Protein backbone atom coordinates (compact mmCIF):
# COMPACT_ATOMS: atom_id res chain seq x y z
CA UNK A 1 0.00 0.00 0.00
CA UNK A 2 1.16 3.51 -0.76
CA UNK A 3 0.14 6.65 1.06
CA UNK A 4 -1.14 9.58 -1.02
CA UNK A 5 2.07 11.59 -0.56
CA UNK A 6 1.05 14.53 -2.73
CA UNK A 7 -2.11 15.04 -0.62
CA UNK A 8 -0.19 14.53 2.63
CA UNK A 9 2.43 17.06 1.50
CA UNK A 10 -0.34 19.62 0.83
CA UNK A 11 -1.90 18.90 4.24
CA UNK A 12 1.46 19.26 6.01
CA UNK A 13 2.08 22.54 4.19
CA UNK A 14 -1.31 23.91 5.25
CA UNK A 15 -0.33 23.37 8.91
CA UNK A 16 3.34 24.33 8.48
CA UNK A 17 4.18 20.78 9.58
CA UNK A 18 6.87 18.30 8.65
CA UNK A 19 6.08 15.27 6.55
CA UNK A 20 7.65 12.04 7.77
CA UNK A 21 7.50 8.95 5.57
CA UNK A 22 8.39 5.38 6.52
CA UNK A 23 9.22 3.87 3.14
CA UNK A 24 10.15 0.37 4.29
CA UNK A 25 8.82 -1.27 1.12
CA UNK A 26 9.58 1.40 -1.48
CA UNK A 27 13.37 1.51 -1.66
CA UNK A 28 14.46 0.79 -5.22
CA UNK A 29 10.94 0.85 -6.68
CA UNK A 30 10.22 3.56 -9.27
CA UNK A 31 7.54 6.01 -8.15
CA UNK A 32 6.23 9.45 -9.04
CA UNK A 33 6.28 10.13 -5.28
CA UNK A 34 10.05 10.58 -5.49
CA UNK A 35 9.52 14.27 -6.30
CA UNK A 36 7.49 14.99 -3.13
CA UNK A 37 9.58 16.97 -0.61
CA UNK A 38 9.82 15.01 2.65
CA UNK A 39 11.33 16.39 5.87
CA UNK A 40 12.03 12.99 7.43
CA UNK A 41 12.40 9.86 5.31
CA UNK A 42 12.91 6.55 7.12
CA UNK A 43 13.27 3.03 5.85
CA UNK A 44 14.82 -0.35 6.36
CA UNK A 45 17.78 -2.13 4.87
CA UNK A 46 16.18 -5.54 5.46
CA UNK A 47 13.87 -5.58 2.43
CA UNK A 48 15.28 -4.74 -1.01
CA UNK A 49 18.85 -4.47 0.28
CA UNK A 50 18.66 -7.84 2.05
CA UNK A 51 20.64 -6.64 5.07
CA UNK A 52 19.92 -5.38 8.58
CA UNK A 53 19.52 -1.89 9.96
CA UNK A 54 17.59 1.12 8.84
CA UNK A 55 18.05 4.71 7.83
CA UNK A 56 16.79 8.21 8.45
CA UNK A 57 17.25 10.88 5.79
CA UNK A 58 16.71 14.57 6.38
CA UNK A 59 18.43 17.90 6.82
CA UNK A 60 21.86 18.12 8.39
CA UNK A 61 20.27 19.77 11.45
CA UNK A 62 17.76 16.92 11.80
CA UNK A 63 20.42 14.22 11.51
CA UNK A 64 22.74 15.99 13.98
CA UNK A 65 19.85 16.40 16.44
CA UNK A 66 18.88 12.73 16.17
CA UNK A 67 22.48 11.60 16.52
CA UNK A 68 22.90 13.62 19.72
CA UNK A 69 19.51 13.13 21.38
CA UNK A 70 17.42 10.28 19.93
CA UNK A 71 16.96 7.65 22.63
CA UNK A 72 17.25 4.88 20.05
CA UNK A 73 20.77 6.05 19.14
CA UNK A 74 22.19 6.98 22.52
CA UNK A 75 24.59 4.40 23.94
CA UNK A 76 24.22 2.08 20.96
CA UNK A 77 26.87 0.62 18.74
CA UNK A 78 26.96 1.35 15.03
CA UNK A 79 26.48 -1.43 12.51
CA UNK A 80 29.66 -3.36 11.69
CA UNK A 81 31.65 -1.92 8.79
CA UNK A 82 31.12 -5.07 6.70
CA UNK A 83 27.34 -4.60 6.93
CA UNK A 84 27.56 -0.90 6.06
CA UNK A 85 29.75 -1.70 3.05
CA UNK A 86 27.23 -4.33 1.86
CA UNK A 87 24.39 -1.80 2.22
CA UNK A 88 26.42 0.74 0.22
CA UNK A 89 27.05 -1.91 -2.44
CA UNK A 90 23.31 -2.66 -2.63
CA UNK A 91 22.52 1.04 -3.04
CA UNK A 92 25.14 1.26 -5.78
CA UNK A 93 23.48 -1.64 -7.62
CA UNK A 94 20.10 0.12 -7.34
CA UNK A 95 21.56 3.25 -8.89
CA UNK A 96 23.40 1.40 -11.68
CA UNK A 97 20.63 -1.09 -12.47
CA UNK A 98 17.25 0.66 -12.13
CA UNK A 99 15.79 -1.95 -14.47
CA UNK A 100 15.57 -4.30 -11.47
CA UNK A 101 12.97 -2.05 -9.84
CA UNK A 102 11.16 -1.71 -13.15
CA UNK A 103 11.16 -5.49 -13.67
CA UNK A 104 9.71 -6.29 -10.26
CA UNK A 105 6.86 -3.85 -10.87
CA UNK A 106 6.20 -5.43 -14.28
CA UNK A 107 6.00 -8.82 -12.58
CA UNK A 108 3.59 -7.41 -9.99
CA UNK A 109 1.41 -5.98 -12.76
CA UNK A 110 1.47 -9.32 -14.58
CA UNK A 111 0.38 -11.21 -11.47
CA UNK A 112 -2.37 -8.73 -10.62
CA UNK A 113 -3.73 -8.76 -14.18
CA UNK A 114 -3.95 -12.55 -14.15
CA UNK A 115 -5.57 -12.62 -10.69
CA UNK A 116 -7.98 -9.75 -11.50
CA UNK A 117 -6.51 -7.60 -8.73
CA UNK A 118 -6.10 -3.81 -8.78
CA UNK A 119 -2.97 -2.39 -10.41
CA UNK A 120 -0.27 -2.68 -7.74
CA UNK A 121 1.64 0.25 -6.29
CA UNK A 122 4.42 -1.97 -4.96
CA UNK A 123 5.76 -5.51 -5.42
CA UNK A 124 4.03 -6.50 -2.17
CA UNK A 125 0.56 -7.68 -3.11
CA UNK A 126 -2.11 -8.46 -0.51
CA UNK A 127 -4.89 -10.90 -1.33
CA UNK A 128 -7.55 -10.46 1.33
CA UNK A 129 -9.33 -13.73 2.10
CA UNK A 130 -11.16 -12.70 5.28
CA UNK A 131 -10.90 -15.57 7.73
CA UNK A 132 -7.73 -16.76 9.42
CA UNK A 133 -8.61 -20.33 8.48
CA UNK A 134 -8.91 -19.56 4.76
CA UNK A 135 -5.65 -17.58 4.71
CA UNK A 136 -3.79 -20.35 6.53
CA UNK A 137 -5.31 -23.08 4.35
CA UNK A 138 -4.21 -21.39 1.13
CA UNK A 139 -0.80 -20.57 2.64
CA UNK A 140 -0.20 -24.23 3.54
CA UNK A 141 -1.48 -25.46 0.17
CA UNK A 142 0.86 -23.09 -1.69
CA UNK A 143 3.73 -24.09 0.59
CA UNK A 144 3.17 -27.73 -0.37
CA UNK A 145 3.57 -26.62 -3.98
CA UNK A 146 6.92 -24.98 -3.16
CA UNK A 147 5.64 -21.40 -3.00
CA UNK A 148 6.23 -19.18 0.01
CA UNK A 149 3.20 -16.90 0.38
CA UNK A 150 2.69 -16.06 4.07
CA UNK A 151 -0.71 -15.70 5.70
CA UNK A 152 -1.00 -12.38 7.55
CA UNK A 153 -3.60 -12.38 10.34
CA UNK A 154 -4.84 -10.19 13.18
CA UNK A 155 -3.46 -8.41 15.08
CA UNK A 156 -1.09 -7.53 12.21
CA UNK A 157 -4.13 -6.68 10.07
CA UNK A 158 -7.70 -5.77 11.15
CA UNK A 159 -10.05 -8.56 12.25
CA UNK A 160 -11.80 -10.19 9.29
CA UNK A 161 -9.11 -9.15 6.78
CA UNK A 162 -6.67 -12.08 7.00
CA UNK A 163 -4.73 -12.20 3.79
CA UNK A 164 -1.93 -13.65 1.77
CA UNK A 165 1.01 -11.32 1.29
CA UNK A 166 2.90 -11.93 -1.92
CA UNK A 167 6.37 -10.36 -1.96
CA UNK A 168 7.96 -10.37 -5.39
CA UNK A 169 11.56 -9.76 -6.37
CA UNK A 170 13.34 -9.05 -9.63
CA UNK A 171 14.75 -12.59 -9.38
CA UNK A 172 11.33 -14.13 -10.01
CA UNK A 173 10.60 -15.29 -13.55
CA UNK A 174 7.48 -14.77 -15.64
CA UNK A 175 6.92 -18.55 -15.55
CA UNK A 176 6.94 -18.49 -11.74
CA UNK A 177 4.49 -15.58 -11.72
CA UNK A 178 2.20 -17.38 -14.17
CA UNK A 179 2.26 -20.55 -12.06
CA UNK A 180 1.49 -18.62 -8.88
CA UNK A 181 -1.36 -16.79 -10.62
CA UNK A 182 -2.74 -20.14 -11.81
CA UNK A 183 -2.82 -21.50 -8.26
CA UNK A 184 -4.13 -18.27 -6.73
CA UNK A 185 -7.01 -18.35 -9.22
CA UNK A 186 -7.77 -21.87 -8.00
CA UNK A 187 -7.30 -21.04 -4.31
CA UNK A 188 -10.80 -22.20 -3.34
CA UNK A 189 -9.97 -25.61 -4.79
CA UNK A 190 -6.45 -25.60 -3.33
CA UNK A 191 -7.77 -26.18 0.18
CA UNK A 192 -10.28 -28.86 -0.89
CA UNK A 193 -8.27 -31.07 -3.22
CA UNK A 194 -4.55 -31.73 -3.64
CA UNK A 195 -2.89 -30.29 -6.71
CA UNK A 196 0.07 -32.00 -8.26
CATH of the domain at 76: 3.40.640.10
Residue 179 lies inside a defined structural domain of this protein: yes
pLDDT tens, residue by residue, 121-136: 889 999 999 999 999 9
- Peptide bond between residue 53 and the one before it cis (omega within 30 degrees of 0): no
Its domain, for residue 35, covers 5-96
pLDDT tens, residue by residue, 21-50: 998 888 888 776 667 889 999 999 998 898
Number of domains in the chain: 2
Specify whether 114 is located in the same domain as 60: no
Specify whether 85 is located in the same domain as 11: yes
Last residue of a domain, one of 77, 96, 115: 96
Helix (H) or strand (E) holding 110: helix 99-114
User: How much is the pTM?
Assistant: 0.80
Specify whether 157 is located in the same domain as 91: no
In the predicted model, what is the mean pLDDT of the chain? 90
Specify whether 113 is located in the same domain as 47: no
Q: What mean pLDDT is predicted for residues 163-184?
A: 95
Specify whether 86 is located in the same domain as 117: no
CATH classification at residue 134: 3.90.1150.10
Residue 170 lies inside a defined structural domain of this protein: yes
3-state helix, strand, coil in the chain (%, to 5): 45, 15, 45
Residue 196 lies inside a defined structural domain of this protein: no
pLDDT tens, residue by residue, 140-165: 999 999 999 999 999 999 999 999 99
123: left (phi over 0), alpha (psi -120 to 50) or beta: alpha
pLDDT at 192: 46
Amino acid sequence: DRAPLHALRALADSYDAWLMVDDAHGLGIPSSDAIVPIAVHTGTCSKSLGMIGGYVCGSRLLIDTLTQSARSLLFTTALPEAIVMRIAHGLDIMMREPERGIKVMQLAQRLCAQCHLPVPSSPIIPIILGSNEQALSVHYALRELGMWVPAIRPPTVPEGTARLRISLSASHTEDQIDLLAHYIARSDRLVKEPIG
